[in-house]
Structure formats: C-alpha cells, structure tokens
C-alpha cells in the first residue's frame, strides 16, 4: 500500500440543473465520479510531510480568502502529462479565474512551497471526464461548447483531504471567509 497523499480541493456550488448535467456526464466519463464530487483541486496530491503544518497553512489561507464566484465558459480536451494515453475533459472558467490562480499561489506558499510542480503550470478547471482516445475527448468538448457554455458557480469552502489511491477522506472543510479586497 502506498502512503496516503494530502491535497486541498473545493467542491463547487452550482445551480441544480447544471449540477445534474455535470454529474450525469461524469457518471459515464469520469472514473473519479464515485470518489469525489465536482471540484477544483488547488493543492495537488503529495506526500504529507509535516501534515499538521500544511493543514494549518491551508486553513489560514481559507480564513482570509473570500468566496470565489466563477463562470465556466469553455470545455477543452487536455492530454494528461502524467498519464500518457489519457485525455481529460476540462470545464474552464473565464470569470473567477484570476481569483482561483491567486488562491492556488497563496496555498503553495509557506510549508507547501516544496510541493509545487513548476513543470505543470496551474490551470483552474473542473474535470468532467477522462478518455483513452483524444478525438473522443475533443468531440465531447465540442458538444459542451456548442450551446454557448455558461455555467455559473461559487467556491465557498476549501477541503483538506487525504487520498490513499482508493478512497478520499475529508479531514477538514473550511469556509472561505475573507473579505473581498476593494
């Protein structure tokens, strides 16, 4: 058994119809659907050396970060650089993207700085599928993009989780309670 990995993610708040559409698609195309709800990952899985310090850091960032409103406006087929032969289908934000990037950058400061993968630039996204054939992923993206994609949502909390390769354990769910900057 491999050691459990630590990560931080935000389950997205969506209108019921949008959640149903995304969940129905993920149930067919996303192998992580049974493990985790629709989310944005902000701290990618890594070995939890000094887990207590990392958890405290993530909580402190959540406490000073305001909720993030976003609109997903593009679906894209993105080859997985860590798993050749797999292409993910991402829903990408237009509105809210700078705030998501700022949260990611803040989280990777302090005790998480050494865990940042500089070779994999952060692209805020919601993964809704994984495909073994890139053209199938491209066709699925085109299907999402045909109707003028505009899925509004909110990130209102950050979860610290442990993942052992089979199950996700939510250690803490911290509301984003910071005040918006003027």
Mean pLDDT of the chain: 93
Q: What mean pLDDT do residues 75-83 have?
A: 92
pLDDT of 49 higher than 80: no
Share of the chain above pLDDT 70, in %: 98
Query: What pLDDT, on a 0 to 100 scale, did the predictor assign at position 114?
Result: 87
SS3 category, 30: coil
Q: Which two tokens stand for residue 131?
A: 């495909």
Q: How many whole angstroms from its chain centre is CA 129?
A: 13
Q: For residue 14, which of 153, 136, 117, 130 has the smallest C-alpha distance?
A: 153
Q: pLDDT grade, residue 2 (50/70/90)?
A: low
Question: In 3-state terms, the chain is what percent helix, strand and coil (to 5)?
Answer: 30, 35, 35
Note the pTM of the prediction, 2 decimals. Answer: 0.93
Query: What pLDDT, on a 0 to 100 scale, did the predictor assign at position 71?
Result: 98
* Cα–Cα distances in angstroms (integers) from residue 80 to residues 12, 20, 73, in the given order: 22, 26, 21
Q: For residue 21, which of 12, 77, 136 has the smallest C-alpha distance?
A: 12
Q: What mean pLDDT do residues 55-73 have?
A: 96
- pLDDT tens across 86-128, in order? 999 999 999 999 999 999 999 998 899 988 988 888 999 999 9
Q: Interior CA angle at 38 toward 2 and 65, to 5°?
A: 90
- pLDDT tens across 142-178, in order? 999 997 899 999 999 999 999 888 889 999 999 999 8
pLDDT of 27 higher than 70: yes
pLDDT of 1 higher than 50: no
> What are the residues facing 140 on neighbouring strands?
none
Q: What mean pLDDT do residues 121-145 have?
A: 96
């Amino acid at each position: 058994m491999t050691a459990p990995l630590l990560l931080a993610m935000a389950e997205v708040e969506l209108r019921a119809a949008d959640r149903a559409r995304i969940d129905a698609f993920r149930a067919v195309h996303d192998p992580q659907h049974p493990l985790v709800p629709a989310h944005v990952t902000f701290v990618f899985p890594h070995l939890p050396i000094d887990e207590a310090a990392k958890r405290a850091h993530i909580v402190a960032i959540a406490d000073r970060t305001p909720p993030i409103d976003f609109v997903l406006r593009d679906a894209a087929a993105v080859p997985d650089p860590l798993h050749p032969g797999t292409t993910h289908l991402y829903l990408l934000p237009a509105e809210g993207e700078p705030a998501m990037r700022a949260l990611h950058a803040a989280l990777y400061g302090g005790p998480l700085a050494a865990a940042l993968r500089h070779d994999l630039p952060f692209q805020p996204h919601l993964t809704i599928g994984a495909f073994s054939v890139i053209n199938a992923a491209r066709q699925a993206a085109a299907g999402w993009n045909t109707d003028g994609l505009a899925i509004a949502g909110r990130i209102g909390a950050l979860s610290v989780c442990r993942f052992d390769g089979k199950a996700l354990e939510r250690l803490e769910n911290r509301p984003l309670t910071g005040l918006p900057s003027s």
